[in-house]
Chain A
Amino acid sequence: MSRLEIENLSCGYPTRTVLKNVTLTAEPGQTLVLLGANGAGKTTLFRTLSGQLPPLSGSFQLADEDFGSLSLKQRVRELAVMPQSESRDWPLCVEEAVRLGRAPHRGWVFPLTKEDHQIVDGAIKRTCLDELRDRPITELSGGEWRRVILARALAQKAKVLLLDEPTAGLDLKYQHEVLHLVQSLTHDRQLTTILSLHDLNLAAQFADVIALLGDEELIAVGSPAEVLTESLIERAFGIPVSILQHPVYGSPLIAPLSHWEEGQSG
């Protein structure tokens, strides 16, 4: 059970601030989706939270423990990260890839224990990868590969999951498959999940909380219905939209109005 509290966090690079004064709380068991146009700072925020970039100012705490004070070793046990594009340079098999999730606990030299193997087995079963166990990761489809990364995160037993565009490059079915898996893992294991998405409709359907980024800051935080409004979206993405309602779930459904706008102004 660890809530992630971000306080007045500014992040970016020494020469350029990307995000200013972000204050945001992510609760365990909830899926928090970051939305924002390209360059709004989603990836920068992820990099800061995962420790790749030092924060410019402000802080963030996990379960009341300041992250800045945690050693790299402690930090990697708490946080599992799926970067925007993760390479798979060598044909390791699925099981070998998932096993590497135990490295934060077991280190880089000593062999895995029986307990480690059980955790790895559990992670593979939970992500339905049993049949692909011996398949080289270089031969997996995009959807299967995302599942391997999630399995590795489960094997890592991290409490916080940071997923940078987990649906990029996936077809409709696999987008939903991956997000559904993320959602149910978050719920079952009470993980604190933060993910970024490009697709507003996916966000509307899967997010418990949405954080909208724009103009170098956090514009709005709230439920999908609260954040996905015509004015806020236009402000963040620079394009007018019309909001409908999902016929089955009742969640917001976003229809962009780019052509209509051009006709109006022309």
Chain B
Amino acid sequence: MNRKVLILGGLSGILLVTIAISVMVGSVTVSLSQFPETWQEISSGQIFSSHATILWKLRLPRILLACLTGAALGVAGAGYQGLFRNPLADPFVIGSASGAAFGVALVIVMGVQTTLFGFSAMSLAAFIGSLLAVLCVFILAGRNRETPMVSLLLAGVALSTFLSACVSLLMIVNSEKLFVIFGWLMGSLSGRSWAELQAVTPLIAVGLVMMWLLSRSLDALAFGEETAATLGLGRKKFLALVLSAGSLLTAAAVSAAGIIGFVGLICPHIARRLVGARHAYLIPASALLGAMLLLIADDLARTIMGNSELPVGILTAMLGGPFFLFLLKTKRGTA
């Protein structure tokens, strides 16, 4: 047990170092020697130099948003894998991604430009679309007042396929907006500011705490639904809570950064290797790893191509895919 707490401490330390490095690198490099001076300028509130402006207005909120979004995806993945007792589950398994994509495509095609609570129309559409899709899946999968897990997964797949087809149709019919939609679908943190950060922070915080509080119930589910019930787990309430926490996290992440694949799938797997399967440790570890992975991917996305940016979703998949295969190859037991 102590060892697991140490590992969580170590992960937090590595994340802090990654954040510090991320602050320094980018189109403008802020070296360690320049840092105190720049920081003084920022804390005085009188920001004039380009260094301080870039650091405070662009880089820092983006870094923090990457961490939060990554943590949200990692924890939603861990929660859904636990709920469905399936190592293939990810935050988008019950339709969140396609719901968000459809919402965004619709808003782009219709040319809506409103903003609300610091959210752009696209972010709002993503958030609402994602939650509505999950709600639809939940209603469609129910029968006789029961909601079998398999039905949830199947309804998720069916609705995702349907909505993806709708998005493709919208893209083809409005080919002049194809690149805008496509760019959003790839996921990106480019140009995010404190406003977006402020808007998603409370949502993600609530989702993270909720999922962590569900740890012991998720553990019990490892014995199967029948045994979990004989230990007193009320199925309906539990299902509703996990789905709410998971879809809140996913919707917040999607509204902040678009669809970013793989983070939610692999972080729980790595976390399970490090701290074991008990969700009380697995969930914080998945959060820390998710934050780290998305932050590193975003650092690369904004630096690797010189002046232009890559969509971060491409990088998470390019880093995540091979790493996942490596994990599979070296796996012992059923990790």
- Which A residues contact B (CB, under 8 angstroms)? 50-52, 72-73, 76-77, 79-81, 83, 86-93, 96-97, 100-101, 103-104, 108-109, 136-139, 156
Contacts and interface: CB of A to CB of B under 8 A. Distances in A.
Contact of A104 (B213, B231, B335): B231
Contacts of A108: 214, 216-217, 220, 233
Interface in B194-236: 213-214, 216-217, 219-224, 226-227, 229-234
Nearest to A112: B216
A136 B278 CA distance: 11
Given A103-B232, A109-B213, A87 B85 contact: yes
Interface string B62-91: 000000000000000000001001000000
Given A83-B226, A92-B278, A108-B217, A101 B231 contact: yes
B231 A100 contact: yes
B277 A136 contact: yes
Nearest to A75: B232
B192 interface: no
Contact of A91 (B223, B231, B335): B335
B276 interface: yes
- Residue among B224, B231, B333 with most chain A CB within 10 A: B231
B267 to A, nearest CB: 15
A82 B220 CA distance: 14
Classify chain B's interface size: 20 to 34
B272 interface: yes
B227 A81 contact: yes
Interface string B41-65: 0000000000000000000000000
Contact of B334 (A81, A91, A96): A91
A176 B4 CA distance: 37
- Residue among B217, B219, B277, B335 with most chain A CB within 10 A: B277
B85 A52 contact: no
A246 B85 CA distance: 46
B213 A76 contact: no
A96 B278 contact: yes
A139 B333 contact: yes
Contact of A50 (B85, B230, B333): B230
A15 B216 CA distance: 36
The list of the 4 closest CB pairs from A to B, nearest first, reads A90-B277, A76-B232, A81-B230, A87-B224
A92 B232 CA distance: 19
Given A50-B230, A72-B234, A73-B232, A89 B222 contact: yes
B333 A86 contact: no
A79 B217 contact: no
Contacts of A104: 231-232
A118 to B, nearest CB: 16
B85 to A, nearest CB: 4
